[in-house]
Amino acid sequence: MISADSVRDLRVSRPREYLMCPPERFAVAYSINPWMDPAAPVDTDRALAQWTGLRDLLVELGHTVYTLAPLPELPDMVFAANGAFSVDGTVFGARFRYPQRTAEAGAHERWYTASGWRYVPAAHVNEGEGDFAYVPAAHGGVVLAGYGYRTEPPAHAEAQEVFGRPVVSLRLTDPRFYHLDTALAAISDDNVAYYPDAFSPASRRVLAELFPDAVLADEADALAFGLNLVSDNKHVVLPAEAAGMAAKLGAAGYAPIPVDLGELKKGGGSVKCCIAELRA
């Protein structure tokens, strides 16, 4: 049997490019997911310090991080993953479900367009990488797409036309896991981790068929936002609270790196929510 240490030694990290937005305007001023409580105090300085630590860690790991400037009256812009979804140099824009976040889409469009990306606006409601994940070396390159709470199923067909990649629709059934990226993550170019009970029985069967070697999370892992992670094929950055998930990933041969994003969790997000991957 090959040990987890041996697998870890064989894994090679792949440098990535990311877009992030500092939480200088972060607040919980409204509630649009089960994690948000406007009555709970939020420490914006602490949130910014935690975010800065995450950004600096990504740079230390060899990744490139671009910054999107936060705008007034948009406290959720720190969750940059929700603003778009990119594959092969094309960006599929977000169209937010809730009016409190609508203007974020325009800020992302301006950044991507100014940066030279091919930007395609959305006709249907979708929340970017919140509900889309790309697994480039699985099944020729497949997009996994969540629906049930935020993104509309017609947006999945729209994304397939935009990217020319197969899109697999997965129905989320637990409101605590309102975005796909709270219930599933790409942990390498050919594999995922996910929490089965966040999905409908049919979607669980599809995931089991597509990813028989997936790392499976339990409820405690998912509630700790242990699937809201970012991986470079070797290093997996995830919330420090998700110790159980870190152990599972370590046993599978990955190198988990815990970070504290507890202040940002008050807005219903963690590591992945803060990071949009730029796939040129």
Specify which residues 257 forms β-bridges with: 237
Rg (CA), the chain: 17
Q: How far apart are CA 266 and CA 254, in angstroms?
A: 28
Q: Which residues are catalytic?
A: 179, 273
Q: How far apart are CA 241 and CA 39, in angstroms?
A: 23
Q: How far apart are CA 66 and CA 71, in angstroms?
A: 16
Q: How far apart are CA 266 and CA 130, in angstroms?
A: 17
Q: How far apart are CA 102 and CA 145, in angstroms?
A: 20
Q: Nearest 5°: CA angle at 135, between 143 and 194?
A: 90
> What string of DSSP letters covers 27-38?
---S-SSTT--T
Q: How far apart are CA 44 and CA 128, in angstroms?
A: 25
φ, ψ (nearest 5 deg) of residue 161:
-70, -35
